[in-house]
Amino acid sequence: MRHLVPFSCNVPWSLNCTTAGVLGLSDMSDVLAEYGRRVVNRRVVALLLLPFFWPSLATGGNFKSRYYIIETNLSPERDAVVGEVMDAAGKAYSTMFRGFRGSVRRKLRVRVSATKEGYLAAYARFCGTPNKNARGIYCGTDQTVYTYDGDGVERVLKHECLHQFVDHVVGGRLPIWTNEGLAEYFEESTLDKRSGQLRLGRVPAWRLKALRKAKKKGTWMPVSRLLAIGGREWSDNVRRGSSNAQYGQAWLLCHFLIHGDGGAYTKLFDRYLGLLDESVGGEAAFKRVFGGDLAPLESKLGAYLGSLKAKGGG
């Protein structure tokens, strides 16, 4: 059984909360009073104090959206645009991981610099040596997402903030293919400005083309191989510049399990995520839900790739 977290306005990121939403930092005294009898670990205390000691990006400030503190040196108009996308993403993450044992009890921090140089400097200052080729990074040390404005910034935020959310709610219990596949899945979403919600499930033509080419050329990875890739191997492939296949196939498998066969696997995928939340290992959880023989799934995934049509532009 998955442990269900009761959703109410006492729980920040609550989807059912109809009042102020997430408690702001100015409300932290209330949070601490409310949860005062609970054990507050050192990391949480440190995180609560950090905003008071960390300066904002030069000439910038903190823009507080419903779910995020966005530290920027962008214009107020850009802050608002970024905040709108981030809140839609935050709501979508909460929906997917609803009922998990972990929860987010504060606004999450994102640093968006106006320039690449500013982003690299901010990362180096607060987190360590950045990968200069990365368009954005989630830093687990300070649980902050770093990126810079310009083309693709919203995609990067939707991707990296999924990692940030997962780190809070599921921790390291999500296998790398699931974590990255879902991050790619959210990255491909678009914002419906009218409803303020993300439209999920977009299928870009370039992804289909690349995946079909891999299938044809024999560079396709069997599902069993994808499931077995560990974090270190994944990172090594990224460093070597040979990570396109793993990202693409992780995206496709997540897309299939969420949308494939008219949603036939949606509940199973949810069950799989639930087992991970219960600390069942990745491959064991997958086997328990989808069976030990992956050949039927492999075949259905191949057929899905063959029949999938690009939708939503791109």
Q: How far is the CB of 282 from Zn ion (least distance, A)?
A: 16
Residues 6+ apart with CB under 8 A from 161: 68, 86, 89, 90, 93, 108, 110, 138, 145
Return the residue of 69, 137, 183, 203 that touches Zn ion, per CB under 5 A: 183
Q: How far is the CB of 163 from Zn ion (least distance, A)?
A: 6
310: left (phi over 0), alpha (psi -120 to 50) or beta: beta
Contact predicate 250/268, CB 8 Å: no
Q: How far apart are CA 76 and CA 46, in angstroms?
A: 29
Q: How far is the CB of 179 from Zn ion (least distance, A)?
A: 7
Rounded to 10 degrees, the C-alpha dihedral 169/170/172/173 comes to 180
Q: How far is the CB of 202 from Zn ion (least distance, A)?
A: 17
Q: Report the SS3 class of residue 106.
A: coil
**Residue 86 phi/psi, 5° resolution?**
-65, -40
Which lies closer to Zn ion via its Cβ, residue 238 or residue 294? 238
Burial class of residue 198, CB neighbours in 10 A (0-12, 13-18, 19+): buried
Q: How far is the CB of 138 from Zn ion (least distance, A)?
A: 7
Which lies closer to Zn ion via its Cβ, residue 97 or residue 290? 97
Does residue number 112 form part of the binding site for Zn ion (CB under 5 A)?
no
Q: Residue 116 is encoded by which pair of tokens?
A: 């690449």
Residues that bind Zn ion (rule: CB under 5 A) add up to a total of 2
List the x/- string, 161-180, binding to Zn ion by CB under 5 A. -------------------x
Residue nearest to Zn ion (CB): 183
Which lies closer to Zn ion via its Cβ, residue 180 or residue 188? 180
Which lies closer to Zn ion via its Cβ, residue 161 or residue 183? 183
Q: How many helices (H) and strands (E) does the chain have?
A: 13, 7
List the x/- string, 22-61, binding to Zn ion by CB under 5 A. ----------------------------------------
Q: How far is the CB of 175 from Zn ion (least distance, A)?
A: 13
Which lies closer to Zn ion via its Cβ, residue 67 or residue 185? 185
Q: Around Cβ 251, how many Cβ atoms within 10 Å?
A: 23
Which lies closer to Zn ion via its Cβ, residue 149 or residue 180? 180
Binding site for Zn ion (CB under 5 A): 180, 183
